[in-house]
Structure 1
């Protein structure tokens, strides 16, 4: 245990780490509460996507990633941690609690902590250099360390089938999903916002649709993006957990960020190709086609990265939430 309470500066350091986690369309669907030196992570239902993420699976994954990032923040201060996951009968939106333990922090966490500000969702073309096989193995190890499985798919019938499903899901995307996304992606008021994806972070439009590069502003005229040739056959990876429960979603988020930061350390970048996971029938097909460990949660496009701009983050004062959970309309959820 800590010998003295965390100072305000230390708390801010941990919170900044937590808020650097990735989330769908950078919605940042979390709020945090301090309980002594323990940090609680809660899903913020007002920041979820009722159409694009109706069961809040991806919001829980984001909160799991935030919990892992908070662990890195604690570790950078010399504290080992453990994570208590949901459920909490008194708080339906509770996702995880990060608490200090007597154990020393994982010695690998220090390097990962310094990768947090360098990690980006990479919506630009990758370099032509292939990912070294040893680095892919490090990323698989990172997933296993968090109780998840990263299935890397580089070629063969499974690759072709998965690529086809990504393209199919992109073609099947309905207009109401694009309208919901437009509220978060390159919105007219983006210059005044601390969330969402501004135009500068969208990346260029693909000259030829590849399937794995998701154009988040498809069908919209967003100035200044340009057009680029993307790699036709990037490495694809599927992140899985054994179960498909809210607790498993939080676990998936922790594994996801550990994988992404491990890749960042060696120059590997990622974007998300989750289109087939957003359609129930195709998600089941992804699972049956790539299944090794359990349920598919994330489809990643991987490659050697280049410099891309960061997405904004909310001020710490905005992420410290209320003393009671809320529903979408502000009432206690039932």
Structure 2
């Protein structure tokens, strides 16, 4: 059965899609309606040639946008499915969110209201452990999208992964930092609809920690405070079986499922993906994707810092819907 979406429904679905996370909040997507289906395309004008040369994280962002759109459809009791890479002749056509006659997953309507509250939280978390039943929910969200979420707890893997994150930060090249600076607290950031403003960077740790990424490392941001962070951060690795564009999109869908589920349960998240930006270090980071029974999920796609929320953080800006509809200007 095909529905006929109203303008208000289309707006709701698009706002849901554009709420997805993306590297440096570049929002590397554009959308097109095909009757009631929503096409998700990669916007190559928002590429990051130094920090994302293969486009892996752009695919992850578009996968997250596709999942977010499904939550928007679900709010209207409309069932959907996602076709990844629907046209091989167009590698930038990431996904089609297709309306189906089946009822939507009932969890989608429950999760939709939490999309606006999902934030990348770089502030300190509580030292209280995440309840085991919530961790199980996050793992189930990953499995539902053909991925695995492994909570790294066993030593020496835990400390080695934190060390690897610190090493990756120290190995960053000037070109990568310059590229990031164009999106993070850039001149006029308070008037932009993309990127990350200074108030979203979070405070600097009083003690060195590998789990909290400083997106402005090496730069002096006026008025930025220092704070004590949680002593034992929860670190998780989201992994896929293989490492194709198809897998990257699956990782994006899983990532958003995990993040919105976490938001509903009062769990905040930020990212520590520095090792994944270097091919050699990414290979080593994939060793922490899971124990032996997860061995076939050996491609690390995201490294997450998770914890019970202690501080609410401001939202990052989003582009107007008129800017994300239709092919971008070349």
The answer, yes or no, to whether TM exceeds 0.5 is: yes
Residue of structure 2 equivalent to 1:278: 277
Q: Which residue of 2 aligns with 1:319?
A: 324
Given candidates 303, 308, 317, the residue that maps to 2:307 is 303
Per the TM alignment, residue 288 of structure 1 is displaced from its structure 2 partner at its CA by 2.4
In the TM superposition, residue 289 of structure 1 has moved relative to its aligned partner by 3.5
Secondary structure of the residue aligned to 2:51 is coil
Q: Whole-Å Cα distance in 2 between the matches of residues 111 and 78 of structure 1?
A: 11
Contact kept in structure 1, 2:152 and 2:288, CA below 8 Å? no
Deviation at 1:92, TM superposition (A): 2.1
Deviations 1:263-288 (A, max 9, x none): 11111111000011111111111112
Q: Aligned partners of 2:88 and 2:64: how far apart in 1?
A: 22
What is the rounded CA distance, in whole Å, between the counterparts of 1:164 and 1:155 in structure 2?
14
Return 62-71 or 205-214, whichever deviates more. Answer: 205-214
Counterpart Cα distance in 2 of 1:283 and 1:232? 25
Secondary structure of residue in 2 paired with 1:97: strand
Alpha-carbon distance, 1:87 to partner:
5.1
Give how far 1:30 is off.
Answer: 0.3
Q: Does 1:174 align with 2:173?
A: yes
| Whole-angstrom CA distance in 2 between matches of 1:169 and 1:219 | 14
What value does the CA root-mean-square deviation take over the aligned residues?
1.3
Q: Distance in 2 between matches of 1:101 and 1:304?
A: 36
Find runs of 4+ consecutive structure 1 residues off by over 6 angstroms. Answer: none
Q: Counterpart of 1:11?
A: 10
Write the distance in 1 (CA, Å) between the matches of 2:20 and 2:84: 17
Structure 2 residue matching 1:108: 3-state secondary structure: helix
Aligned-pair CA distance for 1:155: 4.0
Superposition deviation, residue 247 in structure 1: 1.0
SS at match of 1:114: helix
TM-score (norm 2): 0.95
Name the CA distance, whole Å, in 2 between partners of 1:188 and 1:38: 38
1:9-48 equivalences in 2 (<5 Å): 9-48=8-47
Partner of 1:2: 2
TM alignment of 1:207-222, pairs within 5 A: 207-222=206-221
Contact map agreement 2:289 2:298 (CA 8 A) in 1: no
Task: Tell whether the 8 Å contact from 1:154 to 1:234 is kept in structure 2 after alignment.
Answer: no
For residues 141-220 of structure 1, what are the structure 2 equivalents within 5 Å? 141-220=140-219
Distance in 1 of aligned mates of 2:156 and 2:136: 21
What is the DSSP-based 3-state SS (H/G/I as helix, E as strand, rest coil) of the residue aligned with 1:264? helix
Cα deviation for residue 94 of structure 1 reads 0.5
For 1:236, the equivalent position in structure 2 comes to 235
Task: Give per-residue Cα distances to partners, 1:307-334, cap 9 Å, x unaligned.
Answer: 1111010110010022xx88xxx3xxxx
Distance apart, 1:19 and its partner CA:
0.2
Distance 1:270 1:127 in 2: 12
The equivalent residue for 2:88 is 89
- Listed as ranges, the gaps of 5+ residues in structure 1 are none
Q: Are 1:41 and 1:67, in contact at CA under 8 Å, matched by a contact in 2?
A: yes
Counterpart contact for 1:269–1:304, Cα < 8 Å = yes
Cα deviation for residue 90 of structure 1 reads 3.4
Give the TM-score taking structure 1 as reference length: 0.94
Quick check: 143-152 or 86-95, which moved more?
86-95
Q: Output the CA distance in 1 between the equivalents of 2:8 and 2:104.
A: 19
Q: 1:49 Cα deviation (Å)?
A: 0.4
Q: Which stretch of the first structure deviates more once superposed, 147-156 or 313-322? A: 147-156
